[in-house]
Structure 1
Amino acid sequence: MKNIAPFACTFTPHIPELLQQLNCSIGISTYQAGKLVLISPKDNEHLVQLPRTFHKPMGIAKHPSDANKIALACRDEVIVFKNNAELAQFYPKAPNKYDGLFLPTVTYKTNFLDIHDLEFGKDGIYGVNTLFSCIMKLSEDFNFEPYWKPSFISAL
């Protein structure tokens, strides 16, 4: 029986080369499958996909001044990850294969807010909170603090 990958990826021939030149990867979240999929160039012709399982992953944000920090909104939490390239070389399942290893450093317990988008701001992490129809800021004291709501929303 042939071993089939859980996700298939088709792409135009120039995508691996473009990602290689930009020195970047693409992160795609899919809450239906419960995956965060990172797509990276293996070389100028091939891509590597790395799916990781989370509970209902949705919004993803890259820190604007620290490319080694990302945040991921999940079902009832927002997880902040920090890259540790030094530890990546010792990853037990594939030593010396990866150039980065993002480890969780901070977790904000939010409950079920349906955070569909995230952004690092100057003073914290902001998100689109669809359950309460507002833009919110993550809080250390509360699940969130409302930052902005549309004028047609009368109450949160």
Structure 2
Amino acid sequence: MAKGNAAESKSSTSTGAAAAPDATRPAPAPETSQISVSRGLSDWLVAHRTSLAFTSYQTGQLFLVGRQPNGSVSFNQQNFNRAMGLSWANGRLYLGSLCQVWRLENMLRPHERANDVFDVVLVPRNAQTTGDVDIHEVGVDAEGRVVFVNTKYSCLCTLDLTYSFKPIWKPGFISKLAPEDRCHLNGMAMANGRPAYVTAVSRSDILTGWRERRHEGGVIIEVETGRIVTDQLSMPHSPRVADGRLYALDSGRGQIIEVDPQTGEKRDIAFCPGFLRGMTIHDGHAIVTVSKPRDGTFKHLSLDAELAARDAEAWCGILIVELSTGNLVEWIRLEGHITELFDVTAMPGVTCPMAVGPDTQEFRGTICFDAGILHGASLAQAA
């Protein structure tokens, strides 16, 4: 493989395991963030053979988390305007942003390493423009089509070469597709290569009607039938199907839950100190994002009272919870400028990833091609 300067990763930083933040630690400077991790995170990544990716729509950043050869935890960050939903599928990363869905491809072959550290270098190869439709979660179906939650138009969509998007499903209670964010459709569970369940904050069919229903009436909907599985949730997010079980985030209560898809009965798994938005299930663990409140968004939610009852402040970060016990086993915490995260995904089989961001020197100078295609042949023959 011929390539340019992809190994020059100026935005890549790393940190070793750290103790929990305390009052003696200097506060981060304005417009900066300090990242700390649990002591066992590095070993957890190794034991479960994965790395992680997560996003902050607040600051427009994609973070990749891995383990360096010396055992320290690596953080690589790149800028993508309003970085939102993530999907790791078939060795590539899909990312929803302000008005585009990005496809990032690994430019390395299996035996190659960048900077002698990174076993995956993700390069943006395609950005499909959708316009600002408030893209939330992203998935890939069995045919390889990108499916995303179009929150502004209250529907599920795929990409289209001509139009901004191609609608493929909407809740039965939505009377028409309009740019009104009527029910705040926000989460999508993929199962057996197709969208299986979605979450919405309410069944409202008027302009931003969901805002008056944040404390109750949140729904999980079965896509194939349109059936409401449950309407007893508070600002639900991120439905996920794993090992035949349905999980979700009851965000207004701060709970990771399991839901019976037939009866709608819910079971609390773990309380998390912050507003839950993103979740991925990996190897018996729920990996979730938590955020601090924005403009009083916790008011009138059970989460506010739950934090007060525990004499706790909201976190911004990543929590790893063992599903069988509900125990919090590892964490990443961000303090300072970044206070809100969106999605997280596991990247099984990847040890230490990095990405190349758009509008950077690396983006312009990272060039690779398969030089072997011309081995023993003239250019005319290859053409």
**Which band: TM-score by shorter chain?**
0.7 to 0.9
| Contact 1:13/1:45, CA 8 A, preserved across alignment | no
> How far apart, in 1, do the equivalents of 2:172 and 2:62 lie?
34
Corresponding residue of 1:153? 174
Does residue 120 (structure 1) correspond to residue 143 (structure 2)? The answer is no
Corresponding residue of 1:78? 101
Q: Which has the higher contact order (CA 8 A, sep 6+)?
A: 2
Query: Structure 2: which 5+ residue stretches go unaligned?
Result: 1-27, 178-383
Report the residue type matching 1:114 in the other structure. D
Post-superposition offset of 1:34? 0.9
Match of 2:87 among 48, 54, 61: 61
Post-superposition offset of 1:131? 0.7
The count of corresponding residues between Structure 1 and Structure 2 is 147
Does residue 17 (structure 1) correspond to residue 43 (structure 2)? The answer is yes
| Larger of the two Rg values belongs to structure | 2
Corresponding residue of 2:130? 110
| Contact 2:68/2:117, CA 8 A, preserved across alignment | no
Deviations 1:38-64 (A, max 9, x none): 11122585311111111111011111x
| Contact 1:17/1:44, CA 8 A, preserved across alignment | no
Post-superposition offset of 1:126? 0.4
Does residue 132 (structure 1) correspond to residue 153 (structure 2)? The answer is yes
| Contact 1:16/1:44, CA 8 A, preserved across alignment | no
State the TM-score, normalizing by the size of structure 1: 0.83
> How far apart, in 2, do the equivalents of 1:21 and 1:41 lie?
11
Query: Structure 1: which 5+ residue stretches go unaligned?
Result: none
Would the alpha carbon gap of residues 44 and 19 (structure 1) be closer, same or farther in structure 2, given more than 3 Å must change?
farther
Q: Percent identity among equivalent residues? A: 24
Report the residue type matching 1:112 in the other structure. D
More displaced, 136-145 or 126-135? 136-145
> How far apart, in 2, do the equivalents of 1:126 and 1:139 lie?
11
> How far apart, in 1, do the equivalents of 2:142 and 2:132 lie?
25
State the TM-score, normalizing by the size of structure 2: 0.36
More displaced, 121-130 or 44-53? 44-53
Does residue 100 (structure 1) correspond to residue 120 (structure 2)? The answer is yes
